[in-house]
């Protein structure tokens, strides 16, 4: 492996200045489960690696006074996937985090690294799209927030500018009962990168059910399926579920690669989305919302 300088910045300002100084020769590091492998393989050759894990708040999960949940960018998958608040209020994210590789890898891999790597197959991305998450980045102009649906700009690319790095992920308080599921298909039953995945979430807001469906590994970025979401808000009959699954498959933009063909991926998006919607409906039937207002159509 090509040698590099390993630097622990003393604060956010120094981290940003160090990242801004390099022109592709400086890389941020968290768990290293993507970066170190890429360095070892010679795909990236940084001269400096900036370890962000120790910066304030990066490994914390806490609820803000306004009810939003803040997840530090360097929280491990296990920290997120096993956190009581995440499991209770944002079950779709717990499912995404817990689907990553193995328990050992989840101790090291971070949710922020997963997003910043910007793989279309990143397993926490569909869940965060479903939850309308907002990410916070820090850079030369200070902190700024970006809705997660604007964060991914292409394979391996994000909306972060030079000198910026991800500091935290923010989840709005669920406005009513909420259920979500994450269905992932890999080449092996566990421990593989997604060939295709679908997250489905529904929250019972006062004004009615709010559905979210997001697709992984079937487009240049993780994708939402807004037409399917709108259709489900009107109709969750068996025919409505089948229509929403069709609309989700139509929203996918898969390619052929070593993990699967585009046609197979699109077919599996249809299957995984139908199963996901059915699971969410079954969860609401098992634990119906306390108030009849805004019941499922
Ligand atoms: C065996 C194996 C199995 C895997 N299985 C899965 C899987 O099932 N699902 C899945 O989604 N992924 C999987 N991965 C990929 C990887 O584990 C995850 O993407 C992980 O979440 C990356 O987090 P990390 O902290 O290790 O990132 P790192 O490797 O530290 O960083 C990843 C990238 O993000 C950048 N970066 C890191 N932190 C920041 C920051 N705060 N701000 C800006 N840029 C930053 C780095 O410079 C690097 O480019 C697997 C990897 C391995 C080795």
Is the model more confident about 205 or about 120?
120
**Is residue 26 domain-resident?**
no
Average pLDDT over residues 23-50: 95
User: Which of the 8 DSSP states describes residue 16?
Assistant: H
In the reported structure, the alpha carbon of residue 35 is separated from the centroid of ligand 1 by a whole-number distance in angstroms of 7
Atom of ligand 1 nearest to the CA of 191: 8
Q: What is the pLDDT of residues 58-113, one digit of tens each?
A: 999 999 999 999 999 999 999 999 999 999 999 999 999 999 999 999 999 999 99
CA of 108 to the centre of ligand 1 (A): 9
> How far is ligand 1, taken at its centre, from the CA of residue 99, in Å?
14
Classify residue 261: in a domain, yes or no. yes
Spatial distance between the Cα atoms of 235 and 229, rounded to a whole number of angstroms: 10
Is the residue at 16 inside a domain? no
The CATH number given to whatever domain includes residue 183 is 3.30.390.50
User: Which structural domain, as residue segments, surrounds residue 213?
Assistant: 178-286
pLDDT tens by residue, 164-222: 999 999 999 988 899 999 999 988 877 788 999 999 999 998 889 999 999 999 999 99
Does residue 172 form part of some domain? no
* Domain count for the chain: 1
Would you state the structure tokens that stand for residue 167, as one six-digit string? 């500091």
| Domain assignment of residue 274, yes or no | yes
Q: Give, as one character, the DSSP assignment of residue 1.
A: -
> Greatest CA separation found in the chain?
62
Note the pLDDT of residue 96. 97
Which residues touch 189 (CB under 8 Å, ≥6 apart)? none
In the chain, pLDDT over 70 holds for what percent of residues? 97
Mean pLDDT (whole number) for 123-149: 98
Helices and strands per DSSP (H, E), number in the chain: 11, 14
- Looking at the domain assignment, is residue 84 inside a domain? no
Most ligand 1 atoms within 8 A of CB, residue of 35, 60, 144 to mutate: 35
Burial class (CB in 10 A: 0-12, 13-18, 19+), 38: middle
- The verdict on residue 171 lying in a domain is no
| pTM for the full predicted model | 0.95
Looking at residue 176, its pLDDT comes to 87
Lining residues, ligand 1, CB within 6 Å: 27-35, 37, 52, 73, 100-101, 105, 109-110, 112-114, 116-117, 121-123, 165-166, 193
Q: Is residue 35 part of a domain?
A: no
Q: Are 181 and 166 in contact (CB under 8 A)?
A: no
């Amino acid at each position: 492996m090509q040698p590099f300088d390993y630097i622990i910045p003393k604060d956010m300002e120094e981290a940003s200045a160090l990242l801004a100084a390099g022109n592709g020769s400086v890389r941020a590091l968290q768990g290293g489960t993507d970066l170190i492998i890429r360095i070892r393989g010679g795909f990236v050759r940084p001269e400096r690696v900036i370890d962000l894990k120790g910066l304030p708040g990066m490994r914390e999960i806490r609820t803000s006074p306004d009810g939003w949940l803040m997840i530090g960018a360097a929280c491990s998958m296990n920290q997120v996937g096993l956190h009581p608040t995440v499991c209770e209020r944002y079950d779709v994210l717990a499912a995404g985090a817990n689907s990553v590789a193995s328990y050992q890898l989840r101790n090291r891999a971070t949710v922020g690294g997963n997003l910043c790597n910007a793989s279309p197959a990143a397993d926490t991305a569909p869940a965060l799209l479903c939850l309308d998450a907002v990410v916070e980045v820090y850079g030369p102009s200070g902190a700024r927030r970006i809705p997660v649906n604007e964060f991914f700009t292409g394979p391996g690319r994000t909306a972060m500018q030079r000198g910026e790095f991800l500091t935290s992920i923010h989840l709005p308080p669920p406005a009513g009962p909420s259920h979500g599921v994450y269905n992932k298909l890999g080449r092996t039953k566990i421990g593989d990168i997604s060939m295709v995945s679908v997250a489905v979430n529904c929250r019972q807001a006062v004004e009615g059910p709010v559905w979210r469906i997001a697709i992984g590994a079937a487009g240049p970025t993780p994708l939402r399926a807004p037409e399917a979401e709108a259709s489900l808000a009107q109709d969750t009959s068996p025919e409505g579920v089948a229509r929403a699954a069709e609309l989700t498959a139509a929203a996918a933009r898969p390619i052929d690669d070593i993990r699967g063909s585009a046609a197979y991926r699109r077919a599996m998006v249809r299957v995984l989305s139908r199963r996901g919607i059915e699971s969410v409906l079954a969860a609401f039937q098992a634990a119906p919302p306390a108030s009849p207002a805004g019941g499922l159509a």
